[in-house]
Amino acid sequence: MPTTGLLPLPRTTALLLLLLGTATLCTGLKCVCLMCETTNFTCETEGACWVSVMLTNGKELVSKSCLSVMDMKAQVYCHSSNNITRTVCCFTDFCNNITLRLPPAPPNTPQFGHVELTVIVTIPICVLLLAIILTVYTCQRRYGTYRRTKRQCIEEPLTECNIDSDGKCLKDLIYDMTTSGSGSGLPLLVQRTIARTVIIQELVGKGRFGEVWRGKWCGEDVAVKIFSSRDERSWFREAEIYQTVMLRHENILGFIAADNKDNGTWTQLWLISEYHDQGSLYDYLNRTTITIGGMMKLALSIVSGLAHLHMEIVGTRGKPAIAHRDLKSKNILVKKNDTCAIADLGLAVKHDSVTNNIDIPQNPRVGTKRYMAPELLDDSINTHHFESFKCADIYSLGLVYWEVARRCSVGGVVDEYQLPYYDLVPSDPSLEDMRKVVCEQKLRPNIPNQWQSFEALRVMGRIMRECWYANGKARLTALRIKKTLSQLCVEEDFKL
Ligand SMILES: *[C@@H]1O[C@H](CO)[C@@H](O)[C@H](O)[C@H]1NC(C)=O
Ligand SMILES: *[C@@H]1O[C@H](CO)[C@@H](O)[C@H](O)[C@H]1NC(C)=O
Ligand SMILES: *[C@@H]1O[C@H](CO)[C@@H](O)[C@H](O)[C@H]1NC(C)=O
Ligand SMILES: *[C@@H]1O[C@H](CO)[C@@H](O)[C@H](O)[C@H]1NC(C)=O
Ligand SMILES: *[C@@H]1O[C@H](CO)[C@@H](O)[C@H](O)[C@H]1NC(C)=O
Ligand SMILES: *[C@@H]1O[C@H](CO)[C@@H](O)[C@H](O)[C@H]1NC(C)=O
> Where along the chain do its domains lie?
11-158, 170-274, 281-492
Per-residue pLDDT tens over the stretch 232-268: 778 888 888 888 777 889 999 998 888 877 666 777 8
Ligand 4 lined by 3 (C-beta under 6 Å): yes
Q: Which mutation among 278, 304, 339, 496 tests ligand 6's pocket best, with the greatest number of atoms within 8 A of CB?
A: 339
Superfamily assignment of 11-158 in CATH? CD59 (2.10.60.10)
Kindly state the average pLDDT of the residues 388-400.
97
Contact between residue 74 and residue 245 where contact means Cβ atoms under 8 Å apart:
yes
Q: Is 326 a catalytic residue?
A: yes
| Chain centroid to CA 48 | 24
Distance 83 CA to ligand 2 centre (A): 6
Q: Read off the pLDDT of each residue in 194-213 and give the average, rounded to a whole number.
A: 84
Distances in Å between the alpha carbon of 491 and those of 12, 294, 448? 58, 16, 23
Q: How far apart are CA 274 and CA 17, in angstroms?
A: 23
The domain at 170-274 falls in which architecture?
2-Layer Sandwich (3.30)
Q: Which residues pair with 234 in a beta bridge?
A: none
The closest alpha carbon to 256, from 161, 390, 141, belongs to 161
Q: What percent of the chain has pLDDT over 70?
A: 69
Which of 81-90, 185-194, 379-388, 439-448 ranks highest by mean pLDDT?
A: 439-448
- Nearest partner of 56 among 87, 85, 96, 98, judged by Cα: 85
Of 60-64, 100-104, 180-184, the poorest mean pLDDT is in 180-184
Taking the C-alpha atoms of residue 444 and residue 403, their distance in angstroms, rounded to an integer, is 13
Give residue 198's pLDDT.
83
Q: Exposed/middle/buried for 350, CB within 10 Å: 0-12, 13-18, 19+? A: buried
- Within 8 A by CB and 6+ apart from 236, the residues are 17
Contacts of 159 (CB under 8 A, 6+ apart): none
Q: What is the pLDDT of residue 4?
A: 35
* CA distance between the termini of the chain: 40
The residue whose CB lies within 8 Å of the most ligand 6 atoms, and thus the one to mutate among 252, 335, 337, 495, is: 337
When pLDDT is averaged across residues 108-125 and rounded to a whole number, the result is: 41
The top-scoring range by mean pLDDT among 11-20, 62-71, 102-111, 437-446 is 437-446
Q: Is 321 helix (H, G, I), strand (E, B) or coil?
A: strand
In this structure, the residue with its CA closest to atom 3 of ligand 5 is 286
Asked if residue 143 has pLDDT above 70, the reply is no
Tell me if 11-158 shares its fold with 281-492: no
Burial of 453 (0-12, 13-18, 19+ CB in 10 A): exposed
Phi, psi torsion values for 486, nearest 5 degrees: -60, -45
Whose C-alpha lies nearest to ligand 5, atom 14?
Answer: 418
Band of residue 212 on the pLDDT scale cut at 50, 70, 90:
very high
Closest CA to 192 of 122, 135, 126: 135
Identify the burial level of 452 via C-beta atoms within 10 angstroms of its C-beta, where 0-12 means exposed, 13-18 middle and 19 or more buried.
Answer: exposed
State the sign of the Cα–Cα–Cα–Cα dihedral 313, 314, 317, 323: positive
103 secondary structure, DSSP code: -
- Its pTM stands at 0.65
**Which superfamily does 281-492 belong to?**
Transferase(Phosphotransferase) domain 1 (1.10.510.10)
Ligand 3 pocket at CB < 6 A: 32, 42, 94, 97
Give the least confident one: 159-163, 270-274, 447-451, 473-477.
159-163
Q: Which residues contact 50 (CB under 8 A, 6 or more apart)?
A: 31, 63, 64, 65, 66, 67, 77, 78, 87, 88, 89, 96
Cβ atoms of 257 and 191 closer than 8 Å? yes
- Which residue stretches of 332-416 are H helix? 374-377, 386-406
3-state class (DSSP) for residue 117: coil
Residue type, 268: Q
Catalytic residue among 326, 352, 359, 428: 326
